[in-house]
Every structure is written in C-alpha cells, then in structure tokens.
Chain A
Amino acid sequence: GAVVSQHPSRVICKSGTSVKIECRSLDFQATTMFWYRQFPKQSLMLMATSNEGSKATYEQGVEKDKFLINHASLTLSTLTVTSAHPEDSSFYICSALVGLSGEYFGPGTRLTVT
C-alpha cells in the first residue's frame, strides 16, 4: 500500500523558534496533501490543503503566516511552524491523496514548545 512518512516524529523547541515538519509520499506521487492538527482525545482538525506547485489553502482560523506550507514537489510537503509558542504544542499529521478514494496518513509529529 501507499506509504507516507513524516519527519521528525517528535520535536521539542524553544518558544520563539521555528520548526519544520516534512511529509513525504514514499512510493507514489501526490498532487494534494493535507495537514491536520490533533489535540488529545479529539478528532483530526484540518489546517490546510497543500497542492503541488501552488499556494496552500488554509482553513478558517489558521494563521497562514504562522503555519507555512510548501509543496514543492509531488512527493514532499513541508509545514513550518514559525515563532512557535507553547499553545502550538500538538500532534501534527499529514496525509496524501491518491485519487478520490485513497487518503494515506503519515505517522504524525509530536511538537512540544517549551
């Protein structure tokens, strides 16, 4: 099956610094990738839709200047959390779309901002 990787799996950073999370489709190409945020014991909350070669589409309430998304190739999308603060601590998950019936998820990244 289709495999999506995320790196890093865990990251701890200091308040005010930036951190980049990579999402890669390992054995397929993905025109569209999605970024989600998940709080403990809650469902996935869509942050943005990342389309290769174009600007990401952000969901209402998500600060595009804080959560920078780049989808420069058909196998890589990155999420950069800029000037991170403790409230940005969360579990971030990416996924890649294969046609309409297949969405494959990365293993997630746990971000802790101290």
Chain B
Amino acid sequence: AQTVTQSQPEMSVQEAETVTLSCTYDTSESDYYLFWYKQPPSRQMILVIRQEAYKQQNATENRFSVNFQKAAKSFSLKISDSQLGDAAMYFCAYRTINSGNTPLVFGKGTRLSVIA
C-alpha cells in the first residue's frame, strides 16, 4: 500500500519569504498523481497544485511550485513571496492511476504559520 509522509508537523515563514514543505511517499507504481492541498482555518480543502508522475517537468501555479524527484520519491512544495493568506494546514496526497476511483492517500499535514 502507498504511504505519504510529511516530516514537518509545523513550519513558519516570514511574510514575503520563501518556504519549502517536504513530502515523501512510498509506492511500487510507476505512474500516479501527486497533490498538495491547502486547508485554511475555514477548513475548506483547496487544491494547490498537482503533478503527474510521468511528467518530468515540475508543476507550477503562480507562487507555488513543486520539486518532484521521482527516483527519490520526494514531492516538496515551495511557496514564494509568502503571504498572510498562505497560513494553513498543507496536505500532500497521492493517487494511483491504475484503478478508476481509488481515494487519495494523505500525509499527516504541515501547519504553516506566516509571520508579519
């Protein structure tokens, strides 16, 4: 079974600075999806970024980018120019491609604080 590990329970960053959240995963599959979700205090889960494993190019979405290292099974999230609104729980997640409707496998999350 696949597992997702987020080794940093809490992180903090100064406003306008850059922070990197770590995520590693374990799988024997060669093709899959990886995601980062944000859960602000409202608790609404928001998709931040997704990466298809067969694509070597790292995904980017505005200030958010990932460093996808397939061989190392690492999928870190970089937030540039951090803003107060980035403060939230961040969850890394994995989905297999091999079967149609399998659920996401989530990490335990990293709580990000942004200091003004």
Contact = CB atoms under 8 A, between A and B. Distances in A.
A43 B101 contact: no
Nearest to A95: B45
A16 B33 CA distance: 41
A42 B44 CA distance: 14
Contact of A49 (B44, B45, B101): B101
A51 B101 contact: yes
Interface stretch (A61-69, A72-80, A81-89, A97-105): A97-105
Contacts of B44: 105, 107-108
Interface in B92-113: 95, 97, 100-101, 103-104, 106-109, 111
Given A42-B108, A105-B45, A107-B44, A97 B101 contact: yes
B101 A44 contact: no
B36 to A, nearest CB: 13
Interface of B: 33, 35, 37, 42-47, 50, 52, 91, 95, 97, 100-101, 103-104, 106-109, 111
